[in-house]
Amino acid sequence: MDYAAEYKALSTEERKALALTEDLDPGYRPLLVRDQWSLVKIYFGRRVDLNAEEIALLIADPDQTVRITCARREDLTPDQVEACVQDRDPNLRYFIARNVRLTDVQRALLLEDSDPLVRKAAAKGPKPRRRTRRPGQAEMIR
């Protein structure tokens, strides 16, 4: 099966639906994580079942919104959490500020952030993420 050719023929809406599907064929995963459309990667990035390589690719993505989606994950490595804490984008720092994987040192750093909303989020403390599953869809991080 030529996954790349089949994937290329899909519309953006079909790719988004594929990113959420419960029974995702593993041959599509490398294509979803590297899709040209950020929206597709955002949908894919909410899946609970991402592997370490997929998370690494998404958390390093140049698109801020893709990285924000990943900053909510509780399965980030310590290096990935640190990269988010040090990110130049205050929106990303805002979302990582509530991550349960933050160290006390990282939380203290975010409590002194230049952005008032980041400081406010860090002061609220860790927020465990909920998981949801709609019929026919994979389990997702909310």
pLDDT band, very low/low/confident/very high, at 24 (cuts 50, 70, 90) = very high
The span from the CA of 92 to the CA of 83, in Å, is 10
Mean pLDDT of 16-24: 96
User: What pLDDT is stored for residue 87 in this prediction?
Assistant: 95
User: What pLDDT is stored for residue 111 in this prediction?
Assistant: 98
Mean pLDDT of 121-133: 93
pLDDT digits (tens, 9 = 90+) for 52-110: 999 999 999 999 999 999 999 999 999 999 999 999 999 999 999 999 999 999 999 99
Domains and CATH numbers, the chain: 3-141 (1.25.10.10)
User: What pLDDT is stored for residue 112 in this prediction?
Assistant: 98
Residue 1 pLDDT greater than 90, yes or no: no
User: What pLDDT is stored for residue 49 in this prediction?
Assistant: 96
- pTM value is 0.89
CA torsion sign for 69, 73, 76, 80 is positive
Residue 142 pLDDT greater than 90, yes or no: no
CA dihedral 28, 74, 69, 58 (to 10 degrees): -50
User: What pLDDT is stored for residue 89 in this prediction?
Assistant: 95
Of all helices (H) and strands (E), which one includes residue 131?
strand 131-132
pLDDT digits (tens, 9 = 90+) for 32-64: 999 999 999 999 999 999 999 999 999 999 999
